A and B are shown apart, each in its own frame.
Chain A
Amino acid sequence: MQDRRTLTDIQVNETLTNTVLKTPLLWYVILAFMGGIVMLGVVAVGLLVNMGQGLNGYNRPVMWAFFLTNMVFWIGISHAGVMLSAILRLAQAEFRRPATRAAEVLTVFALATAGLMPIVHLGRLWRAYWIFPYDFSRGIWPDVRSQAVWDPHAISTYLIGSSLFIFVALIPDLAVLRDRTTGIVHSIYTMLAMGWRGTVRQWRLQAIAGIILSALLLPVFVSVHSIVSWDFSMLVGVPSWHTTIFAPYFVIGAVHSGVAGVITVLVLMRWLFGWHDYIRREHIDSLARLLFVVALAWFFFFMLEFMFGLYHQEGTEMVVRELWLFHAPWNAIFVIFILTAFVIPVPLWLFRSVRRSFPLMFFTTILVNVGMWLERFLLIIPGLERKHPFTFSWGEYAPSIFEITIITATFALVATMILLFARAFPLIPLGDAKEARVLRDEIRIGRRTVQAVLREE
């Protein structure tokens, strides 16, 4: 059963631009709250810069911890954008329409946040640019054979591509805003809209650009998380890291957490902006079905990764699995991870009533991302704690308050950036909402009316 309501073009324009033109009061309240948390994070980073990395909970041999876990997590979230937008666009899936912009925006901001993490991790973050092949006076070139060099290039390529992707899709909406604003704001939208008049040729070019960018971004999206996985799997010295499945396992995990993240954002958008006519139960239902399939695939990969750690029965590999299963706090984290990333949400998604419930989908998708954050934590830290074969060189890691503050601030940072974006641009593409209305149809079969969609012959 679909809960559709027919809207006119004028209603679409008014309701979807109200985030820009008539911002609700709640927006300011949430922005102030999130901004406060971000400021706390900035202070924590400032203290780290001033007083050094000793403020973190690092303990040899664990020198990669919360920040890099968080980097992998946010890169994972960033995969939702292209996954949903590009693949579903190429597949002409109708349920993508209200989700694409939110997914793309989440991609860009999550990716930018992910990019911040290794910089904070560096300690001397003002030297971050040394990673790029720029021949300045020090005369040292980055070693292109190192996977640590591949990472920033992949992330920056993806960031540029995703930003372009958003911009191309935004142009028609920018023209609508241009026509509804005055003064300097009007001038800015005029410049950004690039002379858009909505001619047939412009629409055709925009559609072609969208398809080309979708096709080009897909390999980039796969490569980014693969390269992130190679940060770990290329290192033969750390138990549980050197495994061939890491690249696709990271990618499917990213899609799992990313699609869950998009659903979370959509439910929040519906609540905050009152877009009940655009983000409907059937959209969440379809996304939940997709998430169900992705979750099963991710779990299959997880089982393979776990099992092949035991397969060769190497002592160093077994000891990490032992940590996961039998030693506190790792066993507790492992149980929470499995429960939240798979055992609780996935069976719930079997029920149509859950898939079509906004509060329950919000709850289950939040659970997924709690689990997926812990998964990355489990993948990175226990292996490092048992990096060396001798017990005297084993170390334990516990995060400090500075790390916890910075990690919390990254969540607030992404929320802040999305809120600011919503203040300047529509979060649901106006053109898509109107096109969906034109292509909507019904077919009579006997005594029943079946929802249909028009497609070119």
Chain B
Amino acid sequence: MASEEVARDVLQRTFVKGGRYWQAVAVLAVVFLLGVVGFILKLGDERAQWGYFAATFSYLFTVAQTAPVVSVALRLAKNHWRRPLARASELFAVVGLFNLLFFIPLLILLPSIEGRNTIWILGVWPSRFYTPHIFDTLALVGLVVLGLLFLWTAAVPDFAAAREQRGGRGRYAFLALGWQGTARQWRIQRALLGLLGGLYFMDVLTTHFLISSDFSMALVPGWVDSIYPTFHALTGLQAAVAVTIVTMFLLRTVGGYREYLPMESFWGLSKILLAMSLMWFYFWWSAFITFWYGRLPVEQNIIQLIMFGPYRPFFIIGFLFCCIFAVGLLIWNPLRKSPAAMAAIAAMILVGGFFDRMRLYVASWSLADTTEHELTKVPAAIWPQVPDLLVIAGGLAGAVLVYMLATRVVPVMSIWEMKELRLYQVPRQLVRRRMLSLGKPE
């Protein structure tokens, strides 16, 4: 497909959505409203009953707000196969806005740090006891802002293309920020993408660290697990890759972008997903073996709480789906080269990831007294009630709804990067083999 055709085709698909799209939007909106009902029903519950709500927030943060990192990291690595998937992952930044709604109730429910473990040992101005509330909010809001700025910067040339097709007026005239495609503008855009991408990456790691520490580990007396924030971030990256694969597959099969999403993109991501799944085991094992071998009573209790005790079913599902089954399937090259198989494996990892978040967050939030010195007794499991299930379904549906609505405005395929790909990729003949010559921009 020629460069001009790419622009025309992608913009056409952005502006005009079919009946199935609107049906899906309607269903998601209804489920989201049911979630709102569930939330209203939960008002007045004890803090310990909000674990599933916290898990849903954490899951959306893990999946959606980490997803743009896929684009950031692969852009830094200058891969060509990442071009078709770049926008699909960047677009998840809009879900961050939705997730802020989930964050507000949790901020209210999070106890002050008085008399309990916290990473905020000294406390910071302006409020000694509410330091996590302030800084976690700043980190999360910062992440949302950076994500949206990154998305906007990456999409400006496409907005300009849309502006031209729309006769130079309307919302795209504003979004394109006067883009004319001069050499200077391209230079600035490239520099901004590097800067914002780097900042986003660092903020993702920071926010994972803060959320996992303040909203999970610090609520469990005596849980000192220095690898936990990194495990949290790693599972986030794994889920981010998985959700990008599922999105690509849906775009390819339902969205009509088959020509743009070649097998190489799935194959490239599949290797990263395999590495992430192996690291899932390694990071989990590092924590587990240290606690298990140490035989300290508090660490044995913590293992019981988050792995083998009341939430054992959640742990087993998460462990199998995110690690054992994932690795067992991803080592096979034919599966890694099949978009359908990759989508199925990625979907399995996303399901496993949700169970993993539940075993961590529901367990953490289930403890009534956070000011004990050490965990001496593992409380019984808290199973989800109807409002919890509604909130989970509504939260997930709301996130998908926001993403789908965003595809109405932002082209889900990066037009300028697809055009660039056509310049940098040239077929060549080497003796008797057909090869691709891949240009390496400085």
Give chain A's interface residues, CB within 8 Å of chain B.
1, 222, 226, 230, 233-234, 236, 242-248, 300-301, 304-305, 307-308, 310-313, 438, 441, 443, 445, 450-457
Chain B residues within 8 Å of A454, by CB: 428, 430, 435-438
Considering only CB atoms, which chain B residue lies closest to A440 in the complex? B437
Tell which of B226, B296, B423 touches A445, judged by Cβ atoms closer than 8 Å: B423
A222 with B230, Cβ < 8 A, contacts A242-B294, A452-B438, A456-B433 known: no
Question: Cβ of A452 and Cβ of B226 under 8 Å apart?
Answer: no
Chain B residues within 8 Å of A308, by CB: 224-226
Question: Cβ of B437 and Cβ of A452 under 8 Å apart?
Answer: yes
A311 with B224, Cβ < 8 A, contacts A242-B294, A443-B424, A451-B440 known: yes
Chain A residues within 8 Å of B121, by CB: 310-311, 313
A438 and B428 CA atoms in complex are apart in Å by 13
Chain A residues within 8 Å of B440, by CB: 450-453
A311 and B221 CA atoms in complex are apart in Å by 12
Question: Cβ of A246 and Cβ of B283 under 8 Å apart?
Answer: no
Considering only CB atoms, which chain B residue lies closest to A243 in the complex? B226
Listed from nearest, the 8 A-B pairs whose CB atoms lie closest are A308-B226, A245-B226, A450-B439, A247-B286, A244-B287, A245-B227, A244-B227, A443-B439
Answer yes or no: B290 CB below 8 A from chain A CBs: yes
Q: Would you give the shortest CB distance from A322 to chain B, in whole angstroms? A: 14
A43 and B424 CA atoms in complex are apart in Å by 61
Interface centre among A245, A246, A307 (most CB of B within 10 A): A245
Considering only CB atoms, which chain A residue lies closest to B278 in the complex? A219
A451 and B426 CA atoms in complex are apart in Å by 12
Question: Cβ of B230 and Cβ of A245 under 8 Å apart?
Answer: yes
Tell which of A1, A222, A226, A443 touches B437, judged by Cβ atoms closer than 8 Å: A443
Query: 1/0 per position for B114-125, CB-CB distance to A under 8 A?
Result: 000111010000
Chain A residues within 8 Å of B227, by CB: 244-245, 248, 304
Answer yes or no: B18 CB below 8 A from chain A CBs: no
Chain B residues within 8 Å of A455, by CB: 435-436, 438
**Interface residues of chain A: helix, strand, loop or mixed (majority):** mixed
Answer yes or no: B229 CB below 8 A from chain A CBs: yes
Answer yes or no: B228 CB below 8 A from chain A CBs: yes
Chain A residues within 8 Å of B44, by CB: none
Tell which of B294, B433, B438 touches A234, judged by Cβ atoms closer than 8 Å: B294
Answer yes or no: B441 CB below 8 A from chain A CBs: yes
Question: Cβ of A452 and Cβ of B282 under 8 Å apart?
Answer: no
A441 and B282 CA atoms in complex are apart in Å by 40
Chain A residues within 8 Å of B435, by CB: 454-457
Tell which of B228, B282, B290, B424 touches A233, judged by Cβ atoms closer than 8 Å: B290
Tell which of B226, B229, B433, B441 touches A450, judged by Cβ atoms closer than 8 Å: B441
Considering only CB atoms, which chain B residue lies closest to A215 in the complex? B331
Q: Would you give the shortest CB distance from B374 to chain A, in whole angstroms? A: 9
Answer yes or no: B4 CB below 8 A from chain A CBs: no
Answer yes or no: B442 CB below 8 A from chain A CBs: yes
Chain B residues numbered 255-287 whose CB sits less than 8 Å from any CB in chain A: 282-283, 286-287
- Count of inter-chain pairs, beta carbons less than 8 A: 110
**Further contacts, 13 of them, CB under 8 A, given A441-B428, A457-B436:** A234-B289, A234-B293, A242-B294, A244-B225, A244-B227, A248-B282, A304-B229, A308-B225, A311-B118, A312-B117, A443-B437, A450-B441, A452-B424
Answer yes or no: B434 CB below 8 A from chain A CBs: yes
**Interface residues of chain B: helix, strand, loop or mixed (majority):** mixed
Answer yes or no: B427 CB below 8 A from chain A CBs: yes
Answer yes or no: B251 CB below 8 A from chain A CBs: no
A445 with B205, Cβ < 8 A, contacts A226-B286, A244-B228, A307-B119 known: no
Query: 1/0 per position for B305-336, CB-CB distance to A under 8 A?
Result: 00000000000000000000000000000000
Question: Cβ of A457 and Cβ of B427 under 8 Å apart?
Answer: yes
**Interchain residue pairs with CB less than 8 A apart (11):** A230-B290, A234-B290, A247-B282, A248-B230, A307-B119, A308-B225, A311-B117, A311-B121, A311-B224, A312-B222, A453-B438
Query: 1/0 per position for B410-437, CB-CB distance to A under 8 A?
Result: 0000000000000110111010011111
Interface centre among B205, B209, B222, B224 (most CB of A within 10 A): B224
Q: Would you give the shortest CB distance from B294 to chain A, in whole angstroms? A: 5
Query: 1/0 per position for B10-39, CB-CB distance to A under 8 A?
Result: 000000000000000000000000000000
Q: Would you give the shortest CB distance from B228 to chain A, in whole angstroms? A: 7
Q: Would you give the shortest CB distance from A19 to chain B, in whole angstroms? A: 30
Question: Cβ of B290 and Cβ of A304 under 8 Å apart?
Answer: no
Considering only CB atoms, which chain B residue lies closest to A352 in the complex? B442
Chain B residues within 8 Å of A312, by CB: 117, 222, 224
Answer yes or no: B291 CB below 8 A from chain A CBs: yes
Considering only CB atoms, which chain B residue lies closest to A250 in the complex? B286
Considering only CB atoms, which chain A residue lies closest to B221 in the complex? A312
Considering only CB atoms, which chain A residue lies closest to B228 in the complex? A244
Interface centre among A1, A438, A452, A456 (most CB of B within 10 A): A452
Chain A residues within 8 Å of B228, by CB: 244
Chain B residues numbered 191-212 whose CB sits less than 8 Å from any CB in chain A: 205, 209
Considering only CB atoms, which chain A residue lies closest to B122 in the complex? A310
Considering only CB atoms, which chain A residue lies closest to B213 in the complex? A311
Chain A residues within 8 Å of B427, by CB: 457
Question: Cβ of B224 and Cβ of A445 under 8 Å apart?
Answer: no
Considering only CB atoms, which chain B residue lies closest to A446 in the complex? B423
Chain A residues within 8 Å of B423, by CB: 443, 445
Question: Cβ of A244 and Cβ of B286 under 8 Å apart?
Answer: yes
Chain B residues within 8 Å of A313, by CB: 121
Chain A residues within 8 Å of B438, by CB: 452-455
Q: Would you give the shortest CB distance from B79 to chain A, in whole angstroms? A: 10
Q: Would you give the shortest CB distance from B76 to chain A, in whole angstroms? A: 8
Q: Would you give the shortest CB distance from A92 to chain B, in whole angstroms? A: 10
Chain A residues within 8 Å of B428, by CB: 441, 454
Tell which of B118, B290, B295, B441 touches A244, judged by Cβ atoms closer than 8 Å: B290
A242 and B296 CA atoms in complex are apart in Å by 11
Chain B residues within 8 Å of A441, by CB: 428, 437
Chain A residues within 8 Å of B287, by CB: 244
Chain A residues within 8 Å of B442, by CB: 1, 450
Considering only CB atoms, which chain B residue lies closest to A218 in the complex? B278
Q: Would you give the shortest CB distance from B254 to chain A, in whole angstroms? A: 28
Considering only CB atoms, which chain A residue lies closest to B429 in the complex? A454
A441 and B227 CA atoms in complex are apart in Å by 44
Tell which of A222, A230, A245 touches B289, judged by Cβ atoms closer than 8 Å: A230
A453 and B430 CA atoms in complex are apart in Å by 12
A233 and B224 CA atoms in complex are apart in Å by 13
Chain A residues within 8 Å of B426, by CB: 443, 452
A236 with B296, Cβ < 8 A, contacts A243-B226, A245-B230, A311-B121 known: yes
Considering only CB atoms, which chain B residue lies closest to A233 in the complex? B290
A374 and B287 CA atoms in complex are apart in Å by 25
A93 and B370 CA atoms in complex are apart in Å by 50
Q: Would you give the shortest CB distance from B183 to chain A, in whole angstroms? A: 11
Chain A residues within 8 Å of B436, by CB: 454-457
A301 with B293, Cβ < 8 A, contacts A310-B121, A454-B437 known: no
Considering only CB atoms, which chain B residue lies closest to A251 in the complex? B282
Q: Would you give the shortest CB distance from A358 to chain B, in whole angstroms? A: 20
A345 and B144 CA atoms in complex are apart in Å by 32
Considering only CB atoms, which chain A residue lies closest to B206 in the complex? A300
A394 and B225 CA atoms in complex are apart in Å by 27
A445 and B439 CA atoms in complex are apart in Å by 9
A262 and B176 CA atoms in complex are apart in Å by 46
Q: Would you give the shortest CB distance from B23 to chain A, in whole angstroms? A: 39
Chain B residues numbered 378-413 whose CB sits less than 8 Å from any CB in chain A: none
Question: Cβ of B226 and Cβ of A305 under 8 Å apart?
Answer: yes
Question: Cβ of B283 and Cβ of A248 under 8 Å apart?
Answer: yes
Chain B residues within 8 Å of A443, by CB: 423-424, 426, 437, 439
Tell which of A245, A307, A451 touches B286, judged by Cβ atoms closer than 8 Å: A245
Chain A residues within 8 Å of B205, by CB: 300
A311 and B222 CA atoms in complex are apart in Å by 10
Interface centre among B226, B282, B283, B291 (most CB of A within 10 A): B226
